[in-house]
Structure 1
Amino acid sequence: MISYRKIYIVLFLLNVSIVVLAASTTTFKFALVTDTHIGSLDNNEDLIRTVEDINSISEISFVIVSGDVTEFGSFEELKRAKDILDNLKVPYYSIPGNHDANWSESGTNDFLRVFGNETFGFEYKGYKFIGLASGPNMRMSPGQIPRENLTWFFDELENTSKETPIIYINHYPMDEGLNNWFEVMDALRPYNVKLMLCGHGHTNRAMNFEGVNAAMCRSNLRAGKEYGGYNIITVDSDSIYFQERIVTKETNTPWLAYSLSQKPNWVDNPPRPDYTINTNHPYASEVWSIQEESDMGSGMAFKNNVLYYTNTKGEIKAVNASDGSELWSYKTEGKIYSTPYVYNDLVWCASSDTYLYGINKDNGKEIFKLKNNKAVVSSPVCTDDKVILSGGDGYCRAWNVFSGEKVWEFDSVKNFVVTRPAVNDGILFFGSWGNEFYALNVENGKPKWIWNNGHTNRMLSPAQVYPVITNGRVYLASPDRFMTVLDEKTGEVIWRYNDPDNRVRESIGVSEDGATVYAKTMDGNIIAIDATLPERRIKWVSSGENMGYELAPTALVEKDGVVYAPTDKGNIYAFAASDGKFLWKYRISNGLINMILPIDNRELYVSAMDGRLVKLRISR
């Protein structure tokens, strides 16, 4: 006779063995490597050491590289990073960070070209890993997940069970440091998110985003010590824990552990962008709006009631300015960060696919496709029947607008160009990411003068500023927080000043009469400089409303006695040109404002980096 006690013992042991087997198959380790900043010998060596160290640990199943792979996002840096990472014996998954995107001479195309992606989604032992890029792309601002990444992300979630445990990765923390963090968080709320991972802060830190367990992980760099390091993350049946690994083969005790037994405890009613200002300041009202499926990284052009704009899907578009209806669309093979320029019957615009395009403004048909040697993220300008473009290959070129024949080229531009140039009295003015500012003769491309700001760090270059030329002087503002005024004819410095009380940075503009130069400060004010005088004199500082900490490099613009100020948070502000008094503000999105384009009849066109384009009507 069979003993029920024996049956119970057998079943109990069988159950235990199944649980143990399940635990053993669930447990796995992966490495989180972040902020490698490839571009210097020490940083390169740190990553080489890390790869060798990971290869010595047989338990590591794969590696995640969570952004700031390089220092400047150049092709050479990205290729060097991939060459090192390709020595890993296990799979690795990489996403770009702000250093890979903000100063990218290719408009972030090189990251795609080198690594094959800027997002990832894969499953491992029942877990879903999802990684997104973070930006900001080409413009200094808070981070921003590209709109095309979000579109991919939403589709990826559609194909994921809500019970599947998810580990989400971004270079940035999932908070207001990313201007569209809330779109990710809202999309993830129905899902079983176990962990969020980030870098960016270069340190190990326990975090929590709206009720979801999270961790910031240390940089791979040695940071003044002899050796760098990374994190080994272990996932078992009921917990996940983090160990810092120094590449001297030293694994520290866990510095953080989270239980996996419960679903996330989402916070109710977390902070979200506030649009009530649009009703509190009823002086501006929306006429129409467009939401692109990708980012918008440039400004617009307006002619004969047609608005021309671009997006990072590589499209040049024309819409009816009255109602926003599309008239035509032309697709290039790269991302576009170039502001279109309309001259005679053509729309001129450059793409990161290396070409400058001349498109029929009425039907969108390609007329010219002019080759550059590298990706172009700057904007063309037309004058004297020439279209002129300074790109990413060290050249500034001019072509005849009727024949497409090259007229001249200047071959000594240091580093790449990202701005819109200005033209005045037959001279072309623009800056580059090589700490230089150029004045070239429009007729033959010969330099009239070249000014160097004296810095060796290219991040301090006068590259993003749209230069102002008035009263024989050139006005610039740069990330070094200096406003610089140069003689238009000679390039000699008239004055150059760093005001600790009014810290300027790139965003400037000029009054309609040319008598006043406006500059936006990093502390959220506008200052008005008397442009009729050779010395520095502040006419007024804006009052009544502060815009908060500000980095957007977009130009200020005056129209009909109102100064319009862009922000990196999707707001536009209006101040009286006479005395700087605050008038009203309006939010079109939560992304950086690319351009404010006022026209007659109190109408404004405004585009934002997150792909939103809006027409506003102004009542004051």
Structure 2
Amino acid sequence: MKRILLLLILITTCIFAGDTLRFAWMSDTHTSGESGQRDLARAVRDINSRADLDFVIISGDLTDYDFPGHIARAKELLDSLNLNYLAIPGNHEYKWTYSGGEEYLRVFGYDRFNKKIDDVRFIGFHQGPLLRMGDGFVAPKDVQWLREQIKAAPEDEKIIVITHYPIDKSVRNYRDILKILRTRNVQAILHGHHHHNAVANYGGIPGILGRSTLARNDAGGYNIVTLTEDSLIVQEKVTGGELKAPWHSMALRDERKSDYEPIEPADYSVNEKYPQVEPLWMTELHSLIAGGPAVTYSRVIVGLNNGDVVALKRRNGKELWRFHTNGPVLGTPVIEGSVVIVASADSCVYGIHLRKGKSLWKVKGDMPFVSSAAVRDGNAYIGGSDGKIRCINISEGTVNWTCDRVEQYIEATPAVTREHVIVGAWDRHLYALDRFTGRLDWKWAGPMAGVLYSPAVCQPVVSNGVVFIVAPDRVMTALDEKTGEVIWRTAEHMVRESIGISEDKTRVYARTMQDSVVCMDATAREPVTLWKTFGGFGYDIGMAPPVEKDGVLFYPTQRGEVHAMDPLTGKILWKHRLSTALVNPVFPRTDDDLVVTTMDGKVARVIVK
């Protein structure tokens, strides 16, 4: 007992010794709801009441989602701090984003930082994932930025890194990040995401997890971090209450550590098991790709996060032209005749000449587009973040009709049938519009109340008057196309947002969250499972759908693989890994020739010998 008291006295003496740097560290404030706003406001008042702090750091998830006005409201609360602060976005601002991740940058003016305070450098960056449900991912442009910032830092300079996710397997390219960080004197990685205080180890770099400001079993709280000449000390501060004894302390190093733990390399051994599968070519576009490719006999069209639309030769992957928009292109382009239809977060839908790469027309929306169009009979149908669904004449670039009955932004690609345009939104509802007039015929919402259960990501599939969807409620639902009434629902397979349909419309496929693909009978009036196959891809919450072509079923995974199966039996035919990053929706032209894009900027044409 005496030894513990002596240790506490020693630590307290260090904390309040003269030459220190002390900051408040908040995380996971989640201010989209009233309780989050209240808890952050109380934490800000608590911080303002203290005279011993130098600045404030916030490690992500300031809001629950990037809906219009939510990020601005979080900044308004933070701006009432009496101290300077540095904040990064978390997965909630980048996954549920009407702006394609642009709103945070617009409101705060930055989404990463490199700030030297006294003798310590603080580097913060975000890890997405942008729009796509899945593991975290540091975009190529941010990896390059981090590499440059770290390289420019003196080797003996003490660095504290701020992220939202940990730097471990929950971030798809964590290996790349650790390799960069381990070249300099990184003392620790401070992050949130898990809402509690804990200590971790990321390849030899100490990790410190910080609590949420939200009041759960207490009044809410945050952490106070003290840096002395040779120590880092963390204490929890209960909002409006006590400053607890230090729960973590560590020595600071003067030089870069040399005994880092080895980083396990990514496992590409699956490619050796199926040597008949190989990329005919692979092109690196050095920008995050969040959508799949559009493919013709001679062209591959891809949209990039940097705002470019790129055309490659299908034969060899060489670039043919590049068209620039003024915002991220996050959906999948679609081709109708000689026109490429693509939407941008600059609030425009573009018609681009397939061969020349020149603008043919532009339709301006009221807010960003983060979605993809569907085409039928010379028209393109697309939903926007302004809550409007538009029917655009592809040859003229004119708007035939607009439906403004949607209450929140639209991310998904519509399903277009002979009679309807069917699409979900982040307002809990699935909408069915008359294809010729845009009149709202019906809308449907599942029984789960929260907007995060919305059927807003998957493109519905339709067979013989039945609409099939899978949503974050982990239920597959079959609805009557004419009325929107439920025919059946099943929670048997823990599906999420990835769904596809067979070429003959008799089978519905869904990739589950738990390492399997399930096939359901699309002709039955009750849920009938035809087969279920475990794929060995692990836990997966990506949204890219299974797609059948010429008697082969293809589906991508968030771990960088494409799998092929027999659609009648579920037998695995082959697997191939292209990357460690999430694979977007794939485009098979035949059963042995497909084009694939990955979130880390790769485009590949994969062939089966």
Tell me if both proteins adopt one fold, taking TM over 0.5 as the criterion.
yes
From 250, 256, 259, the equivalent of 2:251 is 259
Contact 1:506 1:553 in 2 (8 A): yes
Tell me which amino acid in the other structure corresponds to 1:537.
V
Rounded Cα–Cα distance in structure 2 between residues aligned with 1:264 and 1:588? 33
8 Å CA contact 1:212, 1:266 repeated in 2: no
Q: Is the CA contact (8 Å cut-off) linking 2:550 and 2:591 kept in structure 1?
A: no
1:67 is matched with which residue?
Answer: 60
**2:332 counterpart of 1:332:** no
Deviation of 1:210 after TM superposition, in Å, equals 1.0
Alignment partner, residue 245 of structure 1: 237
**Is residue 558 from structure 1 mapped to residue 548 from structure 2 by the alignment?**
yes
Residue of structure 2 in register with 1:13 after alignment: none
Q: Does 1:349 align with 2:350?
A: no
Q: How far 1:269 moved relative to its partner?
A: 2.4
595, 606, 610: which one aligns with 2:600: 610
Report whether the alignment pairs 1:567 with 2:551: no
- Summarize the alignment of residues 277-288 of structure 1 with structure 2, pairs less than 5 Å apart: 277-288=270-281
Q: TM-score, normalised by structure 2?
A: 0.94
Aligned to 2:5: none
Q: State the secondary structure of the residue aligned to 2:585.
A: strand
Distance, in Å, in 2 between the alignment partners of 1:104 and 1:503 is 25
Looking at structure 1, the residues matched to 38 and 591 of structure 2 have their Cα atoms a distance apart, in angstroms, of 60
Question: Corresponding residue for 1:17?
Answer: none
Shift in Å at residue 449 of structure 1? 2.4
Alignment of 1:211 with 2:201, yes or no, is no
Offset, 1:382 = 2.5
Query: CA-to-partner distance for each residue in 1:459-480, whole Å, 9 max, x for gaps?
Result: 1111111211122211111111
Partner Cα distance (2:130, 2:465) in 1: 34
- 1:447 partnered with 2:440: yes
Choose which of 475, 499, 515 in structure 2 pairs with 1:524: 515
> C-alpha separation between the residues in 2 aligned to 1:229 and 1:137?
28
| Per-residue CA distance 1:44-82 (angstroms, 9 max, x = gap) | 121112222222222211111100010112231111111
Distance 1:601 1:578 in 2: 14
* Partner in structure 2 of residue 230 of structure 1: 222
Distance 2:590 2:168 in 1: 39
Does structure 1 conserve the Cα–Cα contact (< 8 Å) formed by 2:187 and 2:253?
A: no
Give, in whole Å, the separation in 2 of the partners of 1:89 and 1:245. 18
> Could you tell me which of 492, 504, 511 is aligned with 2:502?
511
1:585 to 575, 579, 582: 575
Alpha-carbon contact 2:363-2:398 (below 8 Å) kept:
no
Matches for 1:180-579 after TM superposition, within 5 Å: 180-225=173-218, 227-261=219-253, 263-264=256-257, 266-499=259-492, 502-542=493-533, 545-579=535-569
Could you tell which deviates more after superposition, 241-250 or 324-333? 241-250
- Contact 1:605 / 1:615 at 8 angstroms: preserved in 2? yes
- The 5-angstrom pairing of residues 66-145 of structure 1 reads 66-145=59-138
Gaps of 5+ in 1: 1-22
Structure 1 contact 28–59 (Cα < 8 Å) conserved: no
* CA distance in structure 2 between the aligned counterparts of 1:446 and 1:245, rounded to whole angstroms: 55
Distance 1:596 1:282 in 2: 20
Report the structure number with the largest CA radius of gyration: 1
CA-CA distance at 1:89 after TM superposition:
2.1
CA contact (8 A) 2:470 2:498 kept: yes
Distance 2:157 2:67 in 1: 37
Corresponding letter in the other structure for 1:318:
A
In structure 1, C-alpha distance between the alignment counterparts of 2:279 and 2:296, rounded to whole Å: 20
- In the alignment, does 2:589 pair up with 1:599? yes
CA RMSD in angstroms comes to 1.8
Which residue pairs with 1:11 in the alignment? none
Identity %: 35
* Residue 36 (str. 1) matches residue 29 (str. 2): yes
2:424/2:457 contact within 8 Å kept:
yes
Whole-angstrom distance in 2 between the partners of 1:269 and 1:238:
26
- Cα distance in 2, alignment partners of residues 563 and 384 from structure 1: 27
Deviation per CA, 1:438-469: give whole Å up to 9, x if none: 22122111123222223320111111112111
**Does the aligned pair in 2 maintain the 1:484–1:497 contact within 8 Å?**
yes
Distance 2:278 2:396 in 1: 44
Q: Do 1:151 and 1:293's aligned partners in 2 also have CA atoms closer than 8 Å?
A: no
Structure 2: how far apart are the matches of 1:450 and 1:507? Answer: 21
Letter in 2 for 1:246: V
1:192 Cα deviation from its structure 2 partner: 0.8
- The aligned amino acid for 1:248 is G
The CA deviation string for residues 564-598 of structure 1, in whole angstroms up to 9 with x for no partner, is: 12111111122222211122211111122111111
- Checking the alignment, whether the CA contact within 8 Å between 1:189 and 1:266 is kept in structure 2 is no
The answer to whether the Cα contact below 8 Å between 1:379 and 1:420 also exists between their aligned partners in 2 is: yes
- In 2: Cα distance, 1:29 partner to 1:294 partner: 37
Task: Give the Cα–Cα distance (whole angstroms) in 1 for the partners of residues 127 and 591 of structure 2.
Answer: 38
Q: Does the 8 Å CA contact 2:537/2:559 hold for their aligned counterparts? A: no
In 1, Cα distance between the equivalents of 2:291 and 2:78?
33
2:318 & 2:19 partners in 1: Cα distance? Answer: 53
Q: Report the Cα distance in structure 2 between the residues aligned to 1:249 and 1:490, rounded to whole angstroms.
A: 56
- Are the aligned partners of 2:455 and 2:470 in contact in 1 as well (CA < 8 Å)? yes
- How far 1:283 moved relative to its partner? 2.5
SS class of match (2:42): helix
Corresponding position: 1:55 with 2:48? yes
CA distance in 2, matches of 1:356, 1:517: 31
Shift of 1:207: 1.3
Which SS does the other structure have where 1:112 is aligned? helix
- Secondary structure of 2:335's counterpart equals strand
Distance (Å, rounded) in 2 between the aligned partners of 1:39 and 1:190: 38
**Residues 294 and 26 of structure 1, relative CA distance in 2, 3 Å threshold:** farther
Q: Work out the CA distance in 2 between the residues paired with 1:319 and 1:37.
A: 42
Q: Is the 8 A contact 1:378 1:390 kept in 2?
A: yes
TM-score norm. by structure 1 comes to 0.93
